[in-house]
Amino acid sequence: MLNVQRIRKDFPILSRKMDGKRLVYLDSAATSQKPVSVINAVKEFYEKHNSNVHRSVYKLSEEATELYEGARDAIAKFVGAKSDEMVFVRNTTEALNLVAYAWAMHNIQKGDEVLITEMEHHSNILPWQMVCKAKGAKLVYAKVRDFAIDMNDFESKLTKRTKIVSVAHVSNVLGTINDVKRLEKLSHDNNSLFVVDGAQAVPHMKVDVKDIDADFYAFSGHKMLGPHIGMLYGRKQILEGMEPFMRGGSMVKDVTQQDAKWNDVPWKFEAGTPAVAEAAGLVEAVRYLQRLDMDDVRKHEMQLTEYALKKMQGIKGVRVFGPRTNRGGVISFTLGNAHPHDIATVLDSEGVCIRGGHHCAKPLMQALGVDAVSRASFYVYNGKDDVEVFVKALGKAKAVLRR
């Protein structure tokens, strides 16, 4: 199991005092903290290898290229993919927009449908809204019931008109872990493209994109101990048939005054100067997680979440949103009539960082019948002592906000 006290020593920011109190960081679902090895990897790139990639024959550029492509190789293996199926992007949001612009805008026609669910992050809603409005298609939502996808509703809305199915692997609000393999089979049996938002999955559990058999799978480095960079896995045959999302330097083999020939996959989707330092940082984050072992990461979060849920039961007025079991390390809740921002402010005074708001999931808030919720999210550097401080601070918030 994870040695949290030892792990915390790897994260410089966790030694910081917040108004004299120990920092308890419970907002990793938004962005994770970074270990010193990741920070040093980025720093070392700029100090020793800083150059552009793919474009020069001098040694510095060759070193940068080797780092960049080596990072692609390692990250691909981490999720069970091949290097030429992995596209570097800024984040999950850009990855999903890439699919929307480069595939959907060229393949969706009037009368087609895109099927998503009520629990999606805005990043898995807005690109499909754009496509459907532009192409005269319809965006369809499968309902959420008992904090999970209503599978009867999902199957009833999966029709011959459904061209794309796009779902979250793990909900960033509910913590629900969706059965993506079942959803994949239903989608592919229906001849629908299957897209997965893996932003809340890859950092917290073993993910094998080949086992899931997704056509596209997107995730973000900044949620998995890495810098602000992301990746899109795509089935190579599909990637090869797609038009580029962005156009410019590096993504071409030849350019004439009136035409151009695109580079091979995946480089044809990586226009301009890439985030090489961030790629170097992300591969170090992958190595860090591999040293911890993703099975142990998952077990640790399961135990910590279970412990927190039990402790929160002792606070009258707390209402938790999410399944009791089979969930990720995210707990969303309300506390009586207190506004989530007020709760977060009180907890901040105790050194506890949580998120309050709609969490870029307004359709889900509407489905749940609330305007906003508070959210605590756990990761490898959190322990039971963090839960104790969190619950004690929550008790203080209840007392303060009741006045």
Instruction: For residue 204, count other CB atoms closer than 10 A to its CB.
Output: 29
- Helices 92-99 and 126-135, axial angle in degrees (round to 10): 20
Please identify every residue annotated as catalytic. 360
What's the rounded Cα separation, in Å, for the pair 323 and 175?
8
Instruction: Write phi, then psi, for 381 (nearest 5 degrees).
Output: -95, 5
**368-379: b (≥16 Cβ within 10 Å) or e:** beeebbbbbbbb
Cα(253)–Cα(226) distance, rounded to whole angstroms?
31
* Cα-based torsion angle of the residue sequence 267, 269, 274, 276 in order, rounded to the nearest 10 degrees: -60
- Region of residue 146 (phi > 0: left; psi between -120 and 50: alpha; otherwise: beta): left
Burial of 342 (C-beta count, 10 Å sphere; 0-12/13-18/19+): middle
Task: Quote the radius of gyration of the chain (alpha carbons, Å).
Answer: 22
Inter-CA distances, 6 with 191, 290, 384, Å = 48, 16, 14
Q: Which helix (H) or strand (E) holds 60?
A: helix 59-78
Contact 33, 13 (CB under 8 A): yes
Give every CB contact of residue 313 below 8 A, 6+ residues apart in sequence: none
**Structure token pair of residue 377:** 């999210």
Query: Per-residue DSSP letters for 280-315?
Result: HHHHHHHHHHHHH-HHHHHHHHHHHHHHHHHHHTTS
**Chain centroid to CA 31: how far?**
9
Length of the chain: 403
Residue spans of alpha helices (H) in 108-250:
126-135, 151-157, 180-189, 209-212, 236-240
Instruction: Decide the pairing of beta strands 330-335 and 352-353.
Output: unpaired
